[in-house]
């Protein structure tokens, strides 16, 4: 495991390249949690540019989640096909919307702001197509929580730095 000194060294090296990043805070102008989740689902296994284009096309065609909720899957797929796996992603997004409608009678995830980190993770990961990394992205980028999404590259670097045991842990752990 990394010592505090190792973590601070990594922080200093990153800041020397990227500058000091001010910790974001939630404001009334913050991105809605459901937008953040959908954007993150669209970003899985594709580039930021492509996923941003898919989200923009989706929201241009269907400005509200109520419209996506009742849309034909093929119509949703057409708007997000640029990021690949459109059939799967469209189904995941619409299933989340149907679940929110059935359970809360509203298409919003703003209630997650009131939950603790572990409860947010449980709430998000119960949706098929949402795993630990996606939940961590929503926690960090949208809810401004001290979370650390671990993708393949972070996992590989963490092992190389010996921050995790090479055999004893998985990415999720």
Cα-Cα-Cα-Cα torsion 43, 48, 49, 55, nearest 10 degrees, comes to 40
Cα 105 from chain centroid (whole Å)? 23
Which is the catalytic residue, given 72, 121, 128, 133? 133
The closest of 89, 149, 157 to 117, measured between CA atoms, is: 149
- CA 156 to CA 116: how far, in whole Å? 29
Question: Catalytic site residue 133?
Answer: yes
Six-digit token pair at 170?
């998985």
Three-state DSSP class for residue 42: helix
Six-digit token pair at 113?
């702001």
Six-digit token pair at 92?
């995941």
Catalytic positions are 133
């Amino acid at each position: 495991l990394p010592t505090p000194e190792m973590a601070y060294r990594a922080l200093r090296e990153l800041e020397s390249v990227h500058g000091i990043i001010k910790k974001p805070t939630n404001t009334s102008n913050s991105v809605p949690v459901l937008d953040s989740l959908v954007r993150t689902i669209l970003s899985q296994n594709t580039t930021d540019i492509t996923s941003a284009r898919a989200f923009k096309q989706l929201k241009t065609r269907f400005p509200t989640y109520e419209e996506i909720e009742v849309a034909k899957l093929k119509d949703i797929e057409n708007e997000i096909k640029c990021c690949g796996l459109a059939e799967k992603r469209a189904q995941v997004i619409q299933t989340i919307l149907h679940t929110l409608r059935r359970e809360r009678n509203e298409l919003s995830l703003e209630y997650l702001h009131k939950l603790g980190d572990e409860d947010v993770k449980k709430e998000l990961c119960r949706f098929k197509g949402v795993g630990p990394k996606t939940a961590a992205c929503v926690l960090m980028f949208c809810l401004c929580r001290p979370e650390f999404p671990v993708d393949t590259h972070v996992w590989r670097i963490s092992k190389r730095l010996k921050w995790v045991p090479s055999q004893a842990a998985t990415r999720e752990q």
